[in-house]
Amino acid sequence: MLYWKDDIDLDYCKFCGEVKYKPTRERNSNRKKILYAILRYLPLTPRLQMLYISKATAEQMTWHANNQTEEEYMCHPFDVEAWNHFDRTYCDFAVEPCNVRLGLHGRVRTAWAVWQ
Specify whether 36 is located in the same domain as 50: no
pLDDT at residue 111 is higher than 90: no
Q: How far apart are CA 38 and CA 115, in angstroms?
A: 9
Position 107 scores a pLDDT of 60
2-32 per-position pLDDT tens digit: 888 999 999 999 999 999 998 887 766 677 8
By three-state DSSP, how is residue 54 classified? Answer: coil
Measured at the alpha carbon of residue 69, what is the angle toward residues 68 and 70, in degrees to the nearest 5? 125
pLDDT at residue 99 is higher than 60: yes
Nearest CA-CA partner of 115 in 46, 18, 30: 18
Specify whether 37 is located in the same domain as 57: no
Residue type, 32: K
Specify whether 49 is located in the same domain as 78: yes
Asked whether residue 21 is domain-assigned, the answer is yes
Task: Note whether 87 and 94 are within 8 A (CB).
Answer: yes
Range of the domain at 21: 1-41
